[in-house]
Chains A and B, each alone.
Chain A
Amino acid sequence: MALLEVEDVSKAFGSLKAVDGVSFKVEAGEIFGVAGPNGSGKSTLFNVITGIPFGPDRGRVKLGGVEIQGKSGNEIARLGLARTFQRETSFDGLTVFENALMGAGYGKPGRAESEVRERAAEALEFVGLTSVGFGRLAGELSVFDRKCLMLATAIAMEPRVLLLDEPASSLTKPEIETSIGLIRRTAERGITIVLIEHVLTFLMSLSQHLMVLNQGRVLAAGEPKTVIADERVVEAYLGTRRPAA
């Protein structure tokens, strides 16, 4: 049984179908890539899966065989489905350590206070934020550090599935390289990852399976190399070929 199952999920805003009948399955332990041009419905898909800020109009989402559509966003998070956001996001009024505490404390119910603190510190060390200082306000961090902090708050939850929304956006080339390593090490912790990225090379280096969306629909899915060779994918990204003169 797949760990995350999305069945015929749709979301419309008026007459615009942002996500239109999307289905896919993610096996435990894999990195599943989701690609597509801007406006193809990638982030909306994450929104409807996590219920943040809205769930799907129709379709089913199962986590470990349990249907989660219709549950509130914080309930879904506590069941083990964490996400990051496209823009670097942090609780600016809290310190780095307090940010991690939010994930460690609220994202995994039933932990003792000492364990919450340990998990928070461990997650920060894992993403390499020890050097910036646990007591520094998150709002003072650089874009890359805030992205790392966002990942740390998710890891502190010890989620079963982690949805990463364009982790490479706004980053420099060396930072992207670091991010790739970090995502790979996150997967090695046993966390299943669904990764959105419109930069195909980034996805190719990480994903075991790839799904390409276009205008809210699944355009192609399968082995990454096969998918990017698909004529329809090339067309969606680069446009139609001009006939030779």
Chain B
Amino acid sequence: MTSLPSPVIGAPGRPSWKSEAVGVALAFLLMALLPLVFGDTYTRHILIMVFIYAIVASNWDLSLGYGGVFNFGHLALFSIGVYAYGLLTKAAGVDPWVSLVASGVIATVAAVLVTIPILRLKGIYIILVTFGFAQLVMQVILSQSDVTGGTQGMVRIPGLYLFDHNMIRDGKIGYFYIALALLFLSTVFLRVIVRSRTGASIVALRDNEEYAISRGISLARQRIITLAASAFFTGIAGAFYAAYQRNASIDVFGMSLATIILSMVLLGGTSTIYGAIVASFVLTIFSEAMADFGPWRPIITAVLIIVVMLAYPSGLSGMIRSIWNALAGRLKRPDAALAGKTEERTAA
């Protein structure tokens, strides 16, 4: 019998666990060294925001890219994390770290609740329900202004702590590494899911729902798993955002943030996880670099996204893959030419 591809989801054409783990470790090691290069708090702040966006965008890629579920309530899950953390720490006096994890759990429960009505829906109807869910969450927060602050939001939300480390006057180094650690955990979590049999079944349902069901895959179960899994770290990212900014505002429900995060998912290339993370870096840093252009900034950014998507419909990940393949082809060519000459000589 043919030797079986190992691990479960791993075969020629897919990177092995080992090579992927080495790549991820190197990438995060490089990111961990960034504070040595960028000593100013502004750059560190930008990087912290990149990490938060990267968590939200890569988790959205799980439901939207891998699952094919047009979940336009993803940012509501982030917002639930923001407010859950604010309420737990400020109103209920719960420990910030406990609140951080609890916010992820609350967002996960919310995702399960919103999944139930969309189980039998497709396409535009999922968008409608999930968009409605986001509006509903916002209205609930606005209506409970006694505890949520309504349109004023919540301020002086307790921040995170690291033993006796001063998180306020440390040049943002504490928050930088917590954000990086959260991104690392989220990325490992997502990659483990998408490389597992569960991840393959999520793709199977996306590719052909009826065929997947005919092979015993439960649409309800897998869709709940997909949305719940994509919600956990999104909620935690929201909680971290609230802890870092020390405030919660209904701005997190705005179309502006949703558009930015969706742009990251699409620009990075769906169904990769890494693409969304790379796009978070590219878009955030590019947007900051364009700061002097004032109102032209979003226009230039939008044009850049359109140009990249036109040239590479599979986004930045597709672009990187093309460049990689081209380089690999060039490196192989001299050998191939040499082999061809050897064959000619042998024939002669």
Give the B-binding residues of A (Cβ under 8 A).
Answer: 50, 52-53, 72-74, 77-78, 82-83, 85, 89-95, 97-99, 101-103, 105-109, 113, 116-118, 121-122, 125, 130, 133-137, 150, 153-154, 157
Most buried by A among B14, B210, B212, B215: B215
Kindly list chain B residues whose C-beta atoms are within 8 Å of the C-beta of A73: 210, 213-214
* Bound Cα distance from A178 to B302, whole angstroms: 53
Size bracket, chain B contacts: 20 to 34
In the complex, whether B2 has a CB less than 8 A from a CB of chain A is: yes
Which residues of chain B from 196 to 214 have a CB within 8 Å of any chain A CB? 197, 200-201, 203-204, 206-208, 210-214
Stretch of B5-13, B152-160, B281-289 lying at the A interface: B5-13
Q: Of B1, B200, B214, B271, which one neighbours A82 at CB under 8 angstroms?
A: B214
A121 contacts B211, C-beta separation under 8 Å: no
Given contacts A95-B11, A118-B4, A135-B14, contact A77 B216 (CB under 8 A): yes
In the complex, whether B219 has a CB less than 8 A from a CB of chain A is: yes
Does more than half of chain B's interface fall in helix, strand or loop, or is it mixed?
loop
Q: Of B4, B5, B13, B215, which one neighbours A103 at CB under 8 angstroms?
A: B215
Name the distance in Å between B304's Cβ and chain A's nearest Cβ.
Answer: 27
Q: Could you jot down 23 A-B contacts, CB within 8 Å?
A: A50-B214, A52-B210, A74-B214, A85-B214, A90-B211, A91-B211, A92-B207, A93-B271, A94-B203, A95-B11, A98-B9, A101-B8, A102-B215, A103-B216, A118-B1, A121-B2, A121-B4, A122-B1, A134-B12, A135-B12, A135-B14, A137-B13, A157-B216
Given contacts A52-B210, A105-B197, A130-B2, contact A157 B13 (CB under 8 A): no
Kindly list chain B residues whose C-beta atoms are within 8 Å of the C-beta of A136: 12-13
Most buried by B among A72, A73, A154: A73
Given contacts A50-B214, A74-B218, A102-B201, could you give 8 more A-B pairs where the C-beta distance is less than 8 Å?
A77-B213, A95-B11, A97-B11, A98-B200, A101-B197, A102-B200, A135-B13, A150-B211
Kindly list chain A residues whose C-beta atoms are within 8 Å of the C-beta of B197: 101, 105, 113, 116
Name the distance in Å between B19's Cβ and chain A's nearest Cβ.
Answer: 14
Q: Which residue of B lies closest to A81 (CB)?
A: B214
A89 contacts B208, C-beta separation under 8 Å: yes
In the complex, whether B217 has a CB less than 8 A from a CB of chain A is: yes
Given contacts A52-B210, A101-B200, A102-B201, contact A95 B14 (CB under 8 A): yes
A106 contacts B217, C-beta separation under 8 Å: yes
